[in-house]
Amino acid sequence: MAWGENRHMNVSDKDIDENGKGRIRARPRAQPQEAKSGAAEAGPAQAMARALKQARELQGAGHEARLAARDMAAMRLLAVKQELAPLVDSMPELRAFVELALVNGETPKLWLDLVSYVVMAPDQQHWRLVQDTADGRDVVFETDRLEEMVDFLRKFIAHRAVQRERLLRAESMDARPLARSVPSGLQKSLLWMAWLAGLATGAFALLAWLLASGRL
């Protein structure tokens, strides 16, 4: 029996060379089932990892953009504060109620007083003067020019100062003592009446003491 028959090998035409001699081809080794399943699972996992990386990069870029926009808004509001600070510092009546407090946050604000502040518009190019009211928030003035905003704020602060003076004057008049509103002649009469009433009370008290002690 031939060698090839003992090995029970099937030799095809492609396995025979030109001289008629047989050649043995090395067949590829089959991969285990576990390796195939692992390779199949690696594809979606890698895709998810790439998606997470892209999401982190996009969110990081967005966060940096928001920080840059916030810093830019704070710098532009600081320019307004620097223009108004000498005016407020030179007038004590303004220092009593004008704050000029620059508050950094998600939306930087330059507070003028308890209800009024300057903020940058979403385009970061326009200054807005906003005032809180009972019905909500009103945009009082808006411009993209620094000098226009500063000039309007000077007038706005001047009007607020006049309003405050009138309010304080009205409160002081309401708190004025009643005696100050009485005419001077009537004030003297009231004083005399009060003195006489005190004198009469003292005399009656002295008479009652003398009677009680038996000296009268």
Place of tokens 């008049």: 173
- In the predicted model, what is the mean pLDDT of residues 67-84? 90
Report the range of poorest mean pLDDT among 47-56, 90-99, 108-117, 204-213. Answer: 204-213
54 pLDDT more than 50: yes
Q: Look at residue 74 in the predicted model and tell me its pLDDT.
A: 93
116 pLDDT more than 60: yes
- Name the CA dihedral angle for 73, 75, 80, 86, rounded to a multiple of 10 degrees: 150
Q: Helices 33-89 and 146-174 meet at what angle, rounded to 10? A: 60
- In the predicted model, what is the mean pLDDT of residues 44-52? 79
The rounded distance, in Å, linking the Cα atoms of 110 and 117 is: 5
Candidates 182, 192, 131; CA nearest to 157 is 131
Q: Look at residue 189 in the predicted model and tell me its pLDDT.
A: 66
To the nearest 5 percent, what fractions of the chain are helix, strand and coil?
60, 15, 25
- In the predicted model, what is the mean pLDDT of residues 113-140? 93
The pTM assigned to this predicted structure is: 0.53
131 pLDDT more than 70: yes
Other CB atoms within 10 Å distance of the CB of residue 78? 13
